[in-house]
Amino acid sequence: MADVVRGRVLGAAVAHAWRGLAATWREETTFKVQVAVGAAALALSLWLGQGTIVVLVFAALVLGFELLNTALERLADAVHPGHHPAVGAAKDAAAGAALVSAMAALGAGLLVLGPPLLERLARAS
């Protein structure tokens, strides 16, 4: 019986998570852009035959931080709809965390994919 209950709880948790992903996809243009950039980086890594794990890890990191940023923004707006300096600072910090993850992903992508891409382009010309 406990396994059935655990299965239901896990199923409900996964359903809530998918709803959160779907809502973020519908409402956040930045999330769509980050998914597209991650997919392009993944395609490039597969074409080059290098860095696929690095790209997957950093893409997940960026998307995770964007989901957390979105969650914090929505919660802050619900709790305090008007402008408040502390709420604004918290939202800015969360956005900053998302930006740091994106910059780290960009740096890692350039370091891992840049040299093999330049080599491939040099051979093609």
> Is 27 one of the catalytic residues?
no
Q: 27, 66, 73, 119: which one is catalytic?
A: 66
3-state per-residue secondary structure call for the chain:
CHHHHHHHHHHHHHHHHHHHHHHHHHHCHHHHHHHHHHHHHHHHHHHHCCCHHHHHHHHHHHHHHHHHHHHHHHHHHHHCCCCCHHHHHHHHHHHHHHHHHHHHHHHHHHHHHHHHHHHHHHHHC
d(CA 117, CA 50): 10
Catalytic residues: 66
